[in-house]
Amino acid sequence: MMPMTLTDQHLSPSPVNIAADRPPTQPPSASPAPLVDIVIPVYNEASVLAASVTTLRNYLHDRFPFTWRITIADNASTDTTWQVATTLALTLDGVRAIHLDQKGRGRALRTAWQANDAAIVAYMDVDLSTGLDALLPLIAPLVSGHSDVAIGSRLASGSSVARGPRRELISRTYNTILHTVFGNGFRDAQCGFKAVRTPVADVLVPMVRDNEWFFDTELLLLAERNGLRVHEVPVTWIDDPDSRVHVAKTARDDLRGVLRLVADFGRGHGRADLGPAAREPLADDFGRQVVVFGKIGVLSTLVSLLLFLWLRGSTGAVMANLIAVGSTAVGNTWANRRYTFGYRDARGRGRHYMGGVAIALAGLGLTSLALANVAGSLAQVLVLLTAWSLTTVARFALLRRWVFRGRA
């Protein structure tokens, strides 16, 4: 089905029927484009759509300081949602409607966001579970240029959330998995309340492969992978008991998406040419690197010391040191590669591990020589801790200037 011409909705809010995955066309208009286009993706929401859109429109008209437009994106509803959407688009200034032939929340956002003339594209759920007082804090960092993506977060400090224990547990578990696997900075990937600067969306959205609920997570992980800033806004959020989300299926699909991105990122995929939208990397990240390296070093030292004390009596001090330090060398290198120096893909991985382990083995040789000439339990522990401290300083310098010199 070919799309009809989409005119500016402040002048002539005609609804548009769009074939799946095809963005609407937007010819030049005499009216200026809005700063923000807020998309409401819907599927079989005829009973609440009119009330929600009216509530949102009244809020924007009375309290929102920027120019705006509301886009209702009906993705293949089977009830009267499309009829309600077209009526709203024809009777309310600032409202337009588009219809897709296939389901998928991600597909609806992809279609509404692409070829969009607004400077910022956003979306929120039709149930208005997120309090509208968070809308301005969501948009303001993008207007100022402080951030590239802004998201509502139910897990951020200051949020007020009312939902059942099952959904709370699933949400927290999922976001913990994301943080463990990807080391991402954002805390809530799934809240239906997000905004993106359009130049960024133009680059990242075509890279997102998912058309369902994982769309949000994939977009955010791609944003962070490309050095973009994600701003989190604490929200007031009340669970909708009539939600169309099938929790179990969505959870399975999300986990499959996580595994796919692990494989993609591991092969070096996911890098984008953002052009003018790219953020300049820091010239020097020394302070943060020292602190993170120190945290990893303390944890590695504690593990190694416990192993040394446990094995010393049966294997001797030198062999216990070899086992204790050798057992943490690979893990220490992995943690420093990922968290201290920020490598989370396959670039230089072999060289990094070889260099990190080589440095660890050199330090191991020095500490073993020191232990070989010391007797007594307390003296051995003191010599070992001193030697480890000295080799740790040298290790950081070598990792920074040799192994991971590209991120120094």
Whether 359 maps to a domain, the answer reads: yes
**What single letter denotes the amino acid at residue 37?**
D
Q: Between 317-335 and 286-315, two packed helices, what is the crossing angle to 10 degrees?
A: 150
Least confident segment among 20-29, 151-160, 216-225? 20-29
Q: Could you tell me which residues are beta bridge partners of residue 150?
A: 195, 231
Nearest-angstrom CA–CA distance, 210 and 222 = 12
Whether 1 maps to a domain, the answer reads: no
Whether 211 maps to a domain, the answer reads: yes
Could you tell me which residue, 11 or 66, shows the higher pLDDT?
66
Q: Give the model confidence (pLDDT) of 37-94 as tens digits.
A: 999 999 999 999 999 999 999 999 999 999 999 999 999 999 999 999 999 999 999 9
Residue spans of beta strands (DSSP E) within 43-138? 68-75, 95-100, 120-124
Per the listing, tokens 């009244």 go with: 58
Check whether residue 271 and residue 301 sit in a common domain.
no
Residue 107 Cα to chain centre, angstroms? 19
Q: Give the model confidence (pLDDT) of 262-283 as tens digits.
A: 999 888 899 999 988 888 776 6
pLDDT at 408 over 60: no
- Give residue 7's pLDDT: 31
Whether 180 maps to a domain, the answer reads: yes
Q: Give the model confidence (pLDDT) of 94-111 as tens digits.
A: 999 999 999 999 999 999
Per the listing, tokens 């509404």 go with: 112
Radius of gyration of the chain (CA): 27
pLDDT at 30 over 70: no
Check whether residue 368 and residue 347 sit in a common domain.
yes
Q: Give the model confidence (pLDDT) of 317-368 as tens digits.
A: 889 888 888 888 888 888 898 889 888 767 788 889 898 888 888 888 888 8
Whether 8 maps to a domain, the answer reads: no
pLDDT at 151 over 90: yes
Whether 259 maps to a domain, the answer reads: yes
Nearest 5°: the CA angle 349, 280, 209 is 60
Pick from 37, 44, 45, 12: nearest CA to 27: 12
Among 277, 294, 313, the domain boundary falls at: 277
Check whether residue 327 and residue 370 sit in a common domain.
yes
Check whether residue 307 and residue 265 sit in a common domain.
no
Q: Could you tell me which residues are beta bridge partners of residue 92?
A: none
**127: which 2 tokens?**
């149930």
**144: which 2 tokens?**
């100022």
Average confidence (pLDDT) over 244-268: 85
- Give residue 278's pLDDT: 86
**332: which 2 tokens?**
């220490």
Cα dihedral sign, 236-239-245-251: positive
- Give residue 4's pLDDT: 31
Structural domain boundaries enclosing 322: 286-407
- Give residue 14's pLDDT: 52
Check whether residue 57 and residue 103 sit in a common domain.
yes
Q: Give the model confidence (pLDDT) of 168-220 as tens digits.
A: 898 899 999 998 888 889 999 999 999 999 999 999 999 999 999 999 999 99
Check whether residue 117 and residue 220 sit in a common domain.
yes
Whether 168 maps to a domain, the answer reads: yes
Q: Where are the alpha helices (DSSP H) in 316-348?
A: 317-335
pLDDT at 8 over 70: no
Check whether residue 65 and residue 124 sit in a common domain.
yes
Nearest-angstrom CA–CA distance, 376 and 359 = 28
Among 277, 298, 318, the domain boundary falls at: 277
Q: Could you tell me which residues are beta bridge partners of residue 161?
A: 237
CATH value at residue 178:
3.90.550.10
pTM of this prediction?
0.76
> Which pLDDT band holds residue 242 (cuts at 50, 70, 90)?
low
Whether 4 maps to a domain, the answer reads: no
**56: which 2 tokens?**
């949102």
Q: Are 98 and 112 in contact (CB under 8 A)?
A: yes
pLDDT at 305 over 90: no
Check whether residue 244 and residue 300 sit in a common domain.
no
Check whether residue 264 and residue 304 sit in a common domain.
no
**51: which 2 tokens?**
């009330």
Check whether residue 68 and residue 121 sit in a common domain.
yes
Tell me the C-alpha to C-alpha distance, in Å, between residue 112 and each of 80, 265, 347, 406.
Answer: 20, 27, 35, 39
Nearest-angstrom CA–CA distance, 258 and 266 = 12
Please tell me the total count of domains within the chain: 2
Among 232, 252, 277, the domain boundary falls at: 277
> Which pLDDT band holds residue 140 (cuts at 50, 70, 90)?
very high
Check whether residue 190 and residue 321 sit in a common domain.
no
pLDDT at 2 over 50: no
Check whether residue 299 and residue 392 sit in a common domain.
yes
- Average per-residue pLDDT for the chain: 86
